Chain A
Amino acid sequence: MDNGASSYRRFLDGDETAFDLIVREYRLPLVFFADRYVGDIATAEDIAIDVFMYLLAEPKKYNFKVSLKTYLFMLGRSRAIDYVRRRKKLTDLDSLKETADRNRLEDEILADERKRAVNEALKKLNDDMRIAIHLFYFEQLSYEEIAKVMKKSKKQVDNLLYRAKKELRTILGKEGEQLL
């Protein structure tokens, strides 16, 4: 599996449906991932749109050295971090809508009870651990790919995941042993 690179090659060759395919495949994972940083589904979706827009407008920036999925998550991470840095505290008028959207997204992504339980436990971890576990557990990225997305070394990711799993086990209790 090339994680979307072949679809992207077809898109560069002029196949319009290939881009649609890429969006269909990575839209929700990207929104879910961005949400880990921004904690707001609408903003996360906005970030995902920006990522795909950039992919479309600057096709030559992607050099195929990493998988397309990793590249999209790298773009998503940098945009999410930018957003978090300049975020201003605003009155949350859309909180009800936000909750509904989150439930719908979680329903789509977290199909089984096992993932749902891990997702709940993840909210108690710190940012780095949460992101690392998310990429490893929900997106099935390799240690190397996680390191590229998070701009950390493979060793750092290894340590981060080890500590995160340890904490998750504590949070989830005996049931967690089976989940992880």
Chain B
Amino acid sequence: MRTHEEFVNEVYIRKEKYIKQKRNRRKNIITAAVPFAVLVVLYSVMVLPAMMPAGDDDPNYEETTTHTGYSDSAEITQSEENKNTTPSVTKQPSNYTTKIYHETVTQPSLHTQSQTQAPGSTKPPQKKPDITVSIDKAEYSADEKILVTITDTANVGFGYSKTAQLFIATGDSWEFIPNFATKPAVAYRVVAVEGKEKAVAEFEIDLSEYENLKADSEYKLVFRIEGEDYKAYFTLK
């Protein structure tokens, strides 16, 4: 057995060892934790945004979605017919345009979100859309731009796909104007309105790009957003 002095000395020696080990353990934990924290930050900054559904500012996405307003069969027929000729749907008989209008506007289930989404894709579950669509004026001249504002309070920050179609009033029916496209949203921001967050997307439609618009006519803009149709009316001076 140790003497008292030996015993106390051993206590102090072990204390130094213990403190040293404790310091090393803490250092090791920090050494292991820092790269892990960096990885988590990198993952959340770089990988997670890429996994989110593409928004309106994605040109490829816009390209594929602007024409989904057609029914599948009509679109295929048109593409085949227009292979060697100039595409012009306005020459189609009026019952054809009415049919398209019927399919695209009054049967929104034709292009619901589940159909446009790729099978197996992992889109996060979204709340029921709470969307409003408005344009800045009721009357435009042919060289003006229409400022379209889309607001959403349900899916704030997720972005959404949109399809825009333009119709002209001809008698009792609406005639579809083909090849109508909108530019990607010029601004997409989230603002707080009355304590509730609200996503606002704004984009412009340059009417001067469409030569076949008729003056003194009533037009209807139909926006298909997340499988639902939203309408806005204006008159061309």
Q: Which of A24, A53, A56, A104 contacts B1 (CB 8 A)?
A: A104
Which chain B residues border A56 with CB–CB below 8 Å?
A: 11-12, 15
User: Most A CB atoms within 10 A — which of B1, B10, B15, B22?
Assistant: B1
Q: Is A144 an interface position by the 8 A CB rule?
A: no
Q: Is A105 an interface position by the 8 A CB rule?
A: yes
In the complex where A101-B1, A104-B1, A105-B1 touch, is A23 in contact with B15 (Cβ < 8 A)? no
Residues of B in contact (CB 8 Å), total: 13
Quote the shortest CB–CB distance from A162 to chain B (angstroms): 34
Q: Is A57 an interface position by the 8 A CB rule?
A: yes
Q: Please encode chain B, from 1 to 16, with 1 for each CB lying within 8 Å of some chain A CB and 0 for all others.
A: 1101001101110110
Bound-state Cα–Cα, A19 to B9, Å: 12
Bound-state Cα–Cα, A48 to B22, Å: 20
Task: Please tell me if the beta carbons of B10 and A49 are within 8 angstroms of each other in the complex.
Answer: yes
Which chain A residues border B2 with CB–CB below 8 Å?
A: 45
Binding site of A, secondary structure by majority: helix, strand, loop or mixed? helix
Bound-state Cα–Cα, A49 to B10, Å: 7
Q: Is A20 an interface position by the 8 A CB rule?
A: yes
Q: Which of A20, A23, A42, A53 contacts B18 (CB 8 A)?
A: A53
Q: Is A52 an interface position by the 8 A CB rule?
A: yes
Binding site of B, secondary structure by majority: helix, strand, loop or mixed? helix
Q: Is B45 an interface position by the 8 A CB rule?
A: no
Q: How many A-B residue pairs have CB under 8 A?
A: 37
Nearest chain B residue, comparing its CB with the CB of A108? B1
Which chain B residues border A48 with CB–CB below 8 Å?
A: 7
Nearest chain A residue, comparing its CB with the CB of B10? A49
Bound-state Cα–Cα, A152 to B84, Å: 94
Task: Please tell me if the beta carbons of A57 and B7 are within 8 angstroms of each other in the complex.
Answer: no
Residues of A in contact (CB 8 Å), total: 20
- Residues 2-42 (chain B) with a chain A CB within 8 angstroms: 2, 4, 7-8, 10-12, 14-15, 18-19, 22
Which chain B residues border A45 with CB–CB below 8 Å?
A: 1-2, 7
Nearest chain A residue, comparing its CB with the CB of B11? A52
- Residues 8-33 (chain A) with a chain B CB within 8 angstroms: 19-20, 23-24, 27, 31
Task: Please tell me if the beta carbons of A23 and B8 are within 8 angstroms of each other in the complex.
Answer: yes
Bound-state Cα–Cα, A97 to B22, Å: 34
Q: Which of A20, A23, A27, A49 contacts B14 (CB 8 A)?
A: A49
Which chain B residues border A49 with CB–CB below 8 Å?
A: 7, 10-11, 14
Which chain A residues border B8 with CB–CB below 8 Å?
A: 19-20, 23
In the complex, besides A31-B1, A49-B10, A57-B22, 15 extra interface pairs with C-beta distance below 8 angstroms are A20-B8, A23-B4, A23-B7, A23-B8, A23-B11, A27-B7, A42-B1, A45-B1, A45-B2, A49-B11, A52-B11, A53-B15, A54-B18, A56-B15, A57-B19
Residue positions of A touching B, CB distance < 8 A: 19-20, 23-24, 27, 31, 41-42, 45, 48-50, 52-54, 56-57, 101, 104-105
Residue positions of B touching A, CB distance < 8 A: 1-2, 4, 7-8, 10-12, 14-15, 18-19, 22
Q: List 17 A-B contacts (CB under 8 A).
A: A19-B8, A20-B8, A23-B4, A24-B4, A27-B7, A31-B1, A49-B7, A49-B10, A49-B11, A52-B11, A53-B14, A53-B15, A56-B11, A56-B15, A57-B18, A57-B19, A104-B1
